[in-house]
Structure 1
């Protein structure tokens, strides 16, 4: 006769099933197809760059490399302000039904010296519109040169953290972290970054975007 430890076999089978379940859950975290909408200005619209070298294009490549089923829609326009982004957002949400909205705006507001209260209201409205459309929001922080005055530059920069905290959305503290202090990574206009800077810019975004894609 063939004898075996029944309890031992039960434990083995249970352990195997648990291992398989954990493995499947890990791969399924990204299994549902997602849409990422990037609403930005020239820093996201590849201003002065060869097509396919900006951080948004690099994001699309990284998603493919990591086998994450996601479509990236770049709705960025050079010179865009928070007012312009807000005016376009409703149509973009209706058309694309994004799972994640990346808002990379505000720099042009500050460079033009626009009222910070108006910019803050526009940001708040864009976040609310995205949430109403059931999209997660990634707000991207920006800084401007100190020659605009310490009070203005500090108040502008503080808007992003304030809104992220109040609205409970994910925040990239500063899009150009690690590149803004390197003159060799600027184009001739001293405002826009070269293609060499964009892999680092993507890294700044990626660490905050990835968790939103896996939830």
Structure 2
């Protein structure tokens, strides 16, 4: 993996967090989390994450949650996706925001957070605690909701020990809560200049197609 490319991208991502205006709205897709739920036979898949889920600087139709929706529709499966990605989100801010996005019922919850914690060198214990809290809040409010955890990795710029500890957060939580794990959401995309924007960290539309496949391989097992 070309860590030099990723490190440049990480610096850019940190600067993005201070911007007040983003290309993407915090929550959008075929349906939005703030809408009043209308009677429907379709089940809801909510993607909760940061700028990767939001499809930073892309049209929302190009982000992987929308690509998942296209596949669901093509197969005639009765699901609707909700993109609850927010650029700059950390696990701490996500832990505060998740109660708001849970106002509407959901059947599958895909959790993609932690990368911004790694950029800031936040304690891995704190990151794990926040992710655990999010999972428990979802399970408490919607006991039958299926949760999928998207794993993340970071380069060793914070030290190899920190990077290794960070990587282990996700399989540990997946085992603790007995939930499906996407081992590394950016598998096949991270470090490839052709599949990332100029910042080196946010996937291009082509990159999101690979992300959608990474998600689908796990999602299809619980549909």
TM range (shorter): 0.7 to 0.9
1:50 has 2:59 as partner: yes
- Taking the aligned partners of 1:212 and 1:177, their CA distance within structure 2 comes to 21
- 1:70 pairs, out of 66, 76, 79, with 79
Give the CA deviation at 1:183.
Answer: 2.4
**Secondary structure of 2:53's match?**
coil
Please name the residue that 1:190 is paired with.
Answer: 200
User: Aligned runs of 1:18-37 on 2, under 5 Å?
Assistant: 33-37=42-46
RMSD across aligned positions (CA): 1.2
- Taking the aligned partners of 1:155 and 1:90, their CA distance within structure 2 comes to 28
Please name the residue that 2:92 is paired with.
Answer: 83
- Taking the aligned partners of 2:160 and 2:45, their CA distance within structure 1 comes to 35
TM-score by length of 2: 0.78
**Secondary structure of 1:166's match?**
helix
- Taking the aligned partners of 2:60 and 2:52, their CA distance within structure 1 comes to 13
- 1:114 pairs, out of 108, 111, 122, with 122
**Secondary structure of 2:45's match?**
strand
Give the CA deviation at 1:51.
Answer: 3.0
- Taking the aligned partners of 2:81 and 2:93, their CA distance within structure 1 comes to 20
Give the CA deviation at 1:181.
Answer: 3.8
Please name the residue that 1:148 is paired with.
Answer: 158
Point out where structure 1 has 5 or more consecutive residues left out of the alignment.
1-31
- Taking the aligned partners of 1:165 and 1:114, their CA distance within structure 2 comes to 22
1:150-209 CA-partner distances (Å, limit 9, x unpaired): 111110011000000111011000001111142221211111111111111101001111
1:160 has 2:170 as partner: yes
Conserved 8 A contact 1:83-1:119: yes
- 2:219 pairs, out of 183, 196, 209, with 209
Give the CA deviation at 1:91.
Answer: 2.2
User: Comparing both chains, which one has the higher relative contact order based on Cα–Cα distances under 8 Å and sequence gaps of 6 or more?
Assistant: 2
TM-score by length of 1: 0.81
Please name the residue that 1:131 is paired with.
Answer: 139
**Secondary structure of 1:102's match?**
strand
Point out where structure 2 has 5 or more consecutive residues left out of the alignment.
1-40
- Taking the aligned partners of 2:169 and 2:59, their CA distance within structure 1 comes to 32
| The structure with more helix, counted as a fraction of residues | 1
Please name the residue that 1:23 is paired with.
Answer: none
Conserved 8 A contact 1:130-1:136: no
**Secondary structure of 1:142's match?**
coil
